[in-house]
Structure 1
Amino acid sequence: MDIDVLGTLAVRLDGVSITPTAPKPRQVLALLALRSGQVVPVGVLAEELWGSKPPRSARATLQTYILQLRELISAALENGAGDGAGRRCQAKDVLLTVPGGYLLKGGEGVSDVREFERLAGCGYRAMDAEDYPQAARLLREALGLWTGPALADVHTGPQLRTEAKRLEESRLCALDQRVDADLRLGRHRELLAELTVLVNQYPMHESLCAQYMLALYRSGRRGEALDAYQRLRAALVRAMGLEPSPALAKLQRSLLMSGPETVPARPAMSGTAAPVG
């Protein structure tokens, strides 16, 4: 089974789509696919579909959605997929009813989430080893698996919203490290267009702002780098009553007062924004 969630939802069994078109069965499949190989309790599925107040018919309705998914699985299995022991595989062997919930068996297929996490992990290790060309390549490959926001075409309840947020945080972390690797390789001019878009998309993301400031400064545009700091500061103060973190404020001061040789290659952004006043 191949599972794609980093963009639109696509689940294929033996190359045949088993992704339903109806919204609620899509939600059920998305949650089962994200947790393939794990038992998803009935209560978790009910919360995803109906929030904290499921209808009295929730269990029966959920069973209907499971049957609809099994019908799609059965259609995909008509080409005679087996279980490796000569027995014809059935839908209930792929989407199992287990005590307390359901389990989707992903088998040895491809999951774009697992592949993203594998490539990103290799990229982080390359960063730790200061192998910046390898890190940039691996992280760029990992990010290339994303074709849009996670679960872009799925209506999300509380469970899937949490999963989508987790995946987006993972994407931003990989993006931050890939930009860092490119900066360390002297690619500041090539990064400017991308970072311009990113700081507009994430106006209070301090790490991206720091990278944008460095790319501008190294491109001979110190005034614009200082303007970027002021825009982020104004956004933080207006939205949360916070000042930029000490690390970002230190970078701003270094751009104001230092020569190019003393501006850090990449500021440590471990600090958090500080309250105003």
Structure 2
Amino acid sequence: MGGGVLIEFRLLGQVEVWRDGTRVELGGRKQRAVLAALLVRAGRVVSQDQLIDDLWPADPPARAAATVQVFVSNLRRALEPDRPRGAPARLLVTSAPGYVLRADAGAIDAHEFVRLAAEGHAALDDDDGQRAAQLLSEAAGLWRGAALADVADAPFAQAEASRLEEQRRSCAEDLVEAELSLGRHTAVVAVLEQQVAEHPLRERPRAQLMLALYRSGRQADALAVYRDGTRILRDELGIEPGASLKALHQAVLSQDPELEWEPPEPVIRGVTPPTEPGDEPGRVLVVDDSGINRRLLVTALTEQGHE
């Protein structure tokens, strides 16, 4: 987009735009808020009235409409500085009754995060821990701070930031689950301790911490984590732990063999290596998900190749 110019829109932190590796100057907070309001609704028409409400939800100034038009004009020059005078804008386009920001989904970090997190979750459901860890780690790495940090006081930004932060937490929990499936119990303990401290009412990271501690030979610490969680839930919400957390507690108490980690089965990707002289037919690539980063090439005896 943008005539061969690489443009990146960033919402996972302060609102930023980068053109070919150079950060774009976006102006003051209100002007950046206009861009953010358009970005969170990218591809959809945002009316001028909606933008006015986004910027001044309580008491808009008399010349609010004219001010929005100035902000849009400034943003157009910032986004497309090489656009000839009089030429139509290609990114921030007028479309009655307002404006639309045209950007590929992959150019907006928030959209890319959602895509990667969803693919990582799907890989986790498919018991492909190695791929899940790679995708989820990439998704988590897109964050630079709190979403929409520099326009966070705007109501539209608060709602979007809250939605993204919830997805961020789920992504972090999925990533830990992927790491646990690969046998990296000790490595995730510190991360889980921080997650539990920040979100003491969330049962999933607490359960993950119990499992990581138990598999690291720290049964007593795992039981202490459960006791702390039980106390907090009773004190804060007046409820007992959920059934799954209770079941895990009993399993830790009884040292249930089912809690022990077992290396996952190798995942067949279905990728056939390039044929070289001397190669036998029916060979497929198998990726070992043990976390050792090995690639095993095995010969699959296919019916066609060995009739």
Which digits, 9 at most, give the CA deviation of each residue in 1:97-137, with x for residues without a partner?
22122111225872222322232232222212211111111
- What residue number does 2:239 align with? 242
171, 174, 181: which one pairs with 2:171?
A: 174
Give the corresponding residue for 1:4.
10
Q: Which residue is equivalent to 1:271? A: none
Could you say which residue in structure 2 is the equivalent of 1:49? Answer: 55
* 8 Å contact kept, 2:94–2:100: yes
Amino acid in structure 2 at the alignment position of 1:43:
D
Offset of 1:186 from its aligned partner? 1.3
What's the TM-score once normalised by structure 2's chain length?
Answer: 0.74
More displaced 10-residue stretch of structure 1: 180-189 or 31-40: 31-40
Write the letter of the residue equivalent to 1:77: D
Q: Is the 8 A contact 1:2 1:106 kept in 2?
A: no
With a CA cutoff of 8 Å and minimum separation of 6, indicate the structure with the bigger relative contact order.
1
Q: Which residue of 2 aligns with 1:263?
A: 259
Instruction: Report how far residue 241 of structure 1 moved.
Output: 2.6
Q: Which runs of 5+ in 2 are unaligned?
A: 1-6, 262-307
1:192 is aligned, of 172, 189, 193, to: 189
Secondary structure, in 3 states, of the residue corresponding to 1:153? Answer: helix
Q: Match for residue 42 of structure 2?
A: 36
1:133-189 CA-to-partner distances (Å, cap 9, x unmatched) read 111111112211112221223333111111111111111122111111111111111
More helix by share: 1
Alignment of 1:210-221 (within 5 A): 210-221=207-218
Seen in structure 2, the aligned counterparts of structure 1 residues 93 and 141 have a Cα distance that, compared at 3 Å, is: closer
**Larger of the two Rg values belongs to structure:** 2
2:18 matches 1:25: no
* Structure-2 residue corresponding to 1:275: none
The sequence identity of aligned pairs, in percent, is: 39
| Letter of the structure 2 residue corresponding to residue 30 of structure 1 | A
Cα drift, residue 96 of structure 1: 1.9
1:246 is aligned with what amino acid? A
Runs (4+) off by over 6 Å: none
Q: Is the 8 A contact 2:130 2:178 kept in 1?
A: yes
**Unaligned runs of at least 5 residues, structure 1:** 81-87, 266-277
- Pairs within 5 Å for 1:134-145: 134-145=131-142
Q: Which residue of 2 aligns with 1:163?
A: 160
Q: Give the match's secondary structure for 2:107.
A: coil
Does structure 1 retain, via aligned residues, the 8 Å contact 2:105–2:112? Answer: no
CA distance in 1, matches of 2:223, 2:15: 41
State the distance in 2 between where 1:63 and 1:230 align.
Answer: 58
**Equivalents in 1 of 2:31, 2:106: separation in Å?**
21
The answer on whether the counterparts of 2:133 and 2:175 sit within 8 Å (CA) in structure 1 is yes
Q: Does the 8 A contact of 2:105 with 2:111 survive in 1?
A: no
Count of paired positions: 255
